[in-house]
Copies of this chain bind each other. A is one copy, B any other.
């Protein structure tokens, strides 16, 4: 398989582009993460989302610790070729490390961020080896 599709991405100096994961069935925007070239290549090759963790500074296979893998149905590129949109099936129904369905769980209401989504699972039960 040719890598020319990877060359067509307008990789910025940082090497990272934004990746939006949208749930295939519900249309819900689950999360925004980052991908370098290798993460995008691995995602396409494996059919499961792999991101670049900016905090840990390494590749991050989504669901590796939690089991909450994202099965990728479709990958799209935007007009500037520097952002991708993944259509995914979210295994376990939980995309967020806080135990919520998705990461955008705070809504602006009268100049306050209000949490409007329930915690479906205790993060301690998602990541039993971690303290948070």
Contacts and interface: CB of A to CB of B under 8 A. Distances in A.
A77 interface: yes
Contacts of A44: 108, 111
A96 B81 CA distance: 13
Contact of A29 (B20, B77, B79, B111): B20
B20 A32 contact: yes
B107 A78 contact: no
So how many copies of this chain end up in the complex? 2
Nearest to A40: B108
A5 B103 contact: no
A59 interface: no
A98 interface: yes
Contact of A5 (B22, B29, B84, B108): B108
A106 interface: yes
Contacts of A64: none
A104 interface: yes
Interface in A68-126: 74-80, 83-85, 96-98, 100, 103-108, 110-113
